[in-house]
């Protein structure tokens, strides 16, 4: 009888620990998602500038190729 009580206690403790780990991991994923959104928001103006520069370089290359 004592074995079953101890086993039930161990199972409950294991479930509590697993629940705490799952809560922490899911919370970390949520924080990571928010950090990535913030990083993208911070980098967006730079990426737009880079894309505009690439577009201008392509237009210049096409115009130079047309002149040849």
Domain boundaries, the chain: 1-61
Residue 24 to residue 40: CA distance in whole angstroms: 24
Full-model pTM:
0.57
Interval 19-24 mean pLDDT = 97
DSSP type of residue 1: -
Within a 13 Å sphere around the CA of 41, how many CA atoms are in the beta-carbon half? Answer: 6
pLDDT of residue 67: 77
Residue range 32-48, pLDDT digits in tens:
999 999 999 999 999 99
Can you tell me the distance from the alpha carbon of 27 to that of 35, in angstroms, rounded to the nearest whole number?
Answer: 12
């Amino acid at each position: 009888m004592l074995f079953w009580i101890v086993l039930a206690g161990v199972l409950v403790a294991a479930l509590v620990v697993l629940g705490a780990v799952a809560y922490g991991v899911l919370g970390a994923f949520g924080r990571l998602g928010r950090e990535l959104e913030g990083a993208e928001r911070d980098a967006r103006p730079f990426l737009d500038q880079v894309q505009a520069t690439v577009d201008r370089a392509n237009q210049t290359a096409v115009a130079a190729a047309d002149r040849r």
